[in-house]
Amino acid sequence: MKLSPRRFTIEEFGEQQNWIGSLLSPINQLVSELFAGLANNITVSENLFQEIKELKFVADSSIYPIRFKTKFNKHPVGLYAIYCKDSTGATSSDTPWISWSFSDGQLTITNITNLTASSSYTLKLLLIYG
């Protein structure tokens, strides 16, 4: 079934035309926004209880701990590496495993495994909140 948006017009409401316009405007706006969302226009950053964080670093034990403030002051239920490339653009066949903790709105990374020492990385993390 394919949904199609429909706009309500004042003319459709005969005797109610003198007051219904102020009601139809927000209804039409809502319908328009819902259809935009259903057409793949929902973004993680604006609409979901998640965030994407990008880190750039050189893999070395001296970088730990890595700390940053999270978007939401709630304990994440999961943290996943969704993108990890070294300075040459190569991706590893092993997914980085991240040891982390959360306290007072701050996420602390204490270790990232499966990285080559002394290599530069760009790592994108997906933080999911419950």
Q: Domain residue spans in the chain?
A: 10-41, 47-129
Per-residue pLDDT of the chain (130 residues; tens, 9 = 90+): 676 778 889 999 988 988 998 999 999 999 888 887 777 777 777 778 999 999 999 999 999 999 999 999 899 999 999 999 999 888 877 889 999 999 999 999 999 999 999 999 999 999 999 8
Q: Is the pTM of this model over 0.75?
A: no
Nearest of 106, 45, 109 to residue 75 by alpha carbon: 106
Nearest to 125 by CA among 107, 86, 20, 103: 107
Minimal CA–CA distance to 72: which of 52, 94, 42? 52
CATH of domain 47-129: 2.60.40
Three-state secondary-structure class, residue 23: helix
Contact status, residue 44 vs residue 129, Cβ threshold 8 Å: no
Distances (CA, A) of 83 to 20, 46, 56: 50, 20, 12
